Each structure stands twice: as C-alpha cells, then as structure tokens.
Structure 1
Amino acid sequence: MHTSIIQIVGFKNTGKTTLTAALVKQLAEAGCRVGTVKHDGHDFDIDHPGTDTWRHREAGAHKIAITSPHRTAIMEQRPTLLKELLQQFREMDWVIVEGFKQERYPKIVLIRNEEDEALVKQLEQVVAVASWYPVSFEGLPVFAVQDSSGMAAWIQEERGRGVFALEEPT
C-alpha cells in the first residue's frame, strides 16, 4: 500500500501534539511505519552552542548532517516546503503532519471552543473533527479529542478506500 497522509490542525493549545503522539502510538502498535512533520511558527533550534554541528553552522555551513549508529539529523538554514519534506517519507505507511493549516491534504481539525468551529468551514480537505465538547458537523465524523483509538481505527478504515493517499494536492 502507498504512503498515506493526515494533517492534525487547530489553533494553539487545542491538543494537536497530544493527538499526534496518540495517533502515532496507535498506528505504530498496529504495525504501521509512521513519520511525522511538525510546523513551528517560531524559530526553533535543535543545535546547542559548543557542539560540533553548532560550530559548523556558526562557521557558515548552510546544510549540516549528523549521524550515529541510531539516528540521523539534517539541518538546513532555510525553510522547507511541506511537499519537499514529504518526499523524505515515501517509505512510511503513514505521515502525520501537525500544523500547516493552509496545505491541501486530508485534515482532522481540533476544536476546543465555539470560536474554533469556523476553522472547519475555512479549511480545505477537512475529513473529521476532534472536539473537546459535544458538537456535530454535517457530513463529518466527530470524535472526542481523547478518542485516539477511535480516530486511528477510522483513518485505517478510510485508508483502505484511498482517502489518505499521498499525492500532490490539486
């Protein structure tokens, strides 16, 4: 089966990271290979002053890779488009993307309060809602935000219908 993609989107403090981690756990326990991509609206840094890779960057390196027997990281001094990042995940069964609201891949929208509900209609490719309170949206399944096992079962079922196939958005 091909790589499948689902976006987890919502406003700040709606539980995106918690839900993403829970879905990763559920899908991994089901035997899926899962990758994640997270959008950070702020500047992040995984490098620390004094490390060898930090020294490389400070000296002017634009791209730095570090590898060990257990993991590899590549850092670039530029933003990367989601579609570019996704090319690195083609061997995964699932890619869960946290954030990138404006991208046009299938999305689960998290809502914590009534003001968040507008997001469901504003965004493209909304396939489900995860809510902190009872709510309904015509034509969309709604899950309690804590029901990661129900969401994981649902996305696996829908995956079989090709709903989440990773293709370039139109």
Structure 2
Amino acid sequence: MIPVFAIVGKTDSGKTTLLEKLVAELKKRGYRVGTVKHDIHGFEVDHPGKDSWRHAQAGADTVAISSPQKLALIKKVDHDLKPDELVGEYFQDVDIVLMEGYKRQDKPKIEVFRRELSPHPLCQPQELLFLASNDELEYGVPRFALEDIKSMVDFLEEKFLTARPTSETTLFVNGRSISLSSFAQRVIAGALLGIISALKGVGKPQRVHLWLRAEDRQEDDTSDR
C-alpha cells in the first residue's frame, strides 16, 4: 500500500516550501514521489484560447496534453475526489504521495506549525504523524525543526519506506510484502511477462504493475456432496 500523507497548516505557514524540500530529499534518496495540491475553490490549468481549452469548451470530458517529455490530464469530475480515489487511479507508480491540504480527510498529517500564526496546532495529536515547527511545543507527537528535512525523511523512511521493493519481482498481499525465493520470482515474472507480451499493442514490457482484487467467493450450494 502506497503511504499517503497530508501536509497541513495555517495560510502562509510554509506548507508548499516544506513539501518542496521533502520531495527534493526523497528524490535524492531514490524514491518515486507523487504530489497533490488540494484546492477547495477550484482552479484552471488551461488558458482561454489554447487548444486544450478549446477541446474542453467543445464538450470533452477528458483532455490530455502529451509531449515527449510529459503528460497533462484534465478530467471533469462530479465530486471532490478523496485521497484514496486519487492514489488508486493516478499514483500507482510511485513510492510515496504527499498532499498539500486535505486537512479534513483521515490521512496521517504533517502539520507546519508556527506560534506567530496560531497559539495551537490545527490538528489533534491523534491525527498527526509529526509537527514541523519553529516552536518547542510539546504536543505528544514527534516534532522537527522546520529546516531539519533530513530527520523528517529519516522518520518517513524508517516508518513507511523500508519495505520499498528491491527485487525484480515483488508481491504484496493485503498490503503486506510476501517473501519470494529466486525461483518463485522467476516463475511469476516469466508467466506474467509471457501473457502480457502476447497482448496486442503492448510491445516489450520493461516494468509491470498488476493490481488484483480477489473477491470473496462462496461455494456453490448445488455442488455434489
């Protein structure tokens, strides 16, 4: 299961700055990082007159802007997507997701707390992963100085990222990493790659992510006894 954390705090507390520094340190350590900015007021990323804007104005529900270097997707939705919906749909190829905002969602939170902006944190201790603060507040949760980015990432790495896949074939069942022998890795990889390579339009797969949900199955009551 991909770890997801919400970075919260008062306006102008430095949420974006902290997120930028955490991303830079995580990338330095080799992790794949996804980020989300939550804006309850709405936003626009395509400008009037641009081709993508014209596509949307014509009625397209999903607009993609693609180049050899990057891809942007603009998709109409009918509700404010929750973190799990976003991660499940768009972030399955990363090791960790940091979200700026979502203070009302039930994800573990990293709060940027500055005493000059508020006498007490926004979140209750049970909601928090840790505080990033310029104040020596004792709040019953780990607290790091605002500039101590390495210690924050050390904390995230120790608690949530030590199970990062290191082998060519990795199996997770119900969020738990399952140890595989070299033989089992070769058998699973060989079988899957053989099936996938035979699919039309796939080409030569370099990296494969497969998510399988095994539904509960009841025995057929009409079977012989």
TM-score between both structures, scaled by the size of structure 2: 0.65
Counterpart Cα distance in 2 of 1:103 and 1:116: 23
| Deviations 1:110-153 (CA, angstroms, capped at 9, x unpaired) | 111263524232x7531111112222212x11111121111111
The aligned length equals 160
How far did 1:43 drift? 2.2
Counterpart Cα distance in 1 of 2:162 and 2:27: 20
Which residue pairs with 1:75 in the alignment? 74
Which residue pairs with 1:52 in the alignment? 51
How far did 1:74 drift? 1.1
Counterpart Cα distance in 1 of 2:65 and 2:122: 39
* Structure 1 residue 148 corresponds to structure 2 residue 149: yes
| Deviations 1:8-49 (CA, angstroms, capped at 9, x unpaired) | 111211111000010000000000000101101322111012
Asked if the contact 1:15–1:110 (Cα under 8 Å) also holds between the matched residues in 2, the reply is yes
Asked if the contact 2:25–2:153 (Cα under 8 Å) also holds between the matched residues in 1, the reply is yes
Counterpart Cα distance in 1 of 2:130 and 2:61: 39
Relative to structure 1, the CA distance from residue 63 to residue 46 in structure 2 (aligned partners, 3 Å threshold; closer, same or farther) is same
Q: How does 1:3-82 map to 2 (within 5 A)?
A: 3-78=2-77, 79-82=80-83
Asked if the contact 1:10–1:16 (Cα under 8 Å) also holds between the matched residues in 2, the reply is yes
> What is the aligned-residue identity percentage?
38
* Structure 1 residue 120 corresponds to structure 2 residue 107: no
Counterpart Cα distance in 2 of 1:90 and 1:33: 10
Which residue pairs with 1:136 in the alignment? 138
Relative to structure 1, the CA distance from residue 70 to residue 144 in structure 2 (aligned partners, 3 Å threshold; closer, same or farther) is same
Amino acid at match of 1:159: F
* Aligned residue among 65, 90, 93 for 1:91: 93
Residue ranges of structure 1 left out of the alignment (5+ in a row): none
| Deviations 1:81-128 (CA, angstroms, capped at 9, x unpaired) | 32221111122111111110011111111111263524232x753111
Counterpart Cα distance in 2 of 1:118 and 1:68: 43
Amino acid at match of 2:142: P
| Deviations 1:44-87 (CA, angstroms, capped at 9, x unpaired) | 11101211111111222222111111111111233433222111
Asked if the contact 2:6–2:110 (Cα under 8 Å) also holds between the matched residues in 1, the reply is yes
* Greater relative contact order structure (CA < 8 Å, 6+ sep): 1
The structure having more radius of gyration, on CA atoms, is 2
Counterpart Cα distance in 1 of 2:162 and 2:10: 29
Counterpart Cα distance in 2 of 1:152 and 1:118: 21
Asked if the contact 2:113–2:121 (Cα under 8 Å) also holds between the matched residues in 1, the reply is no
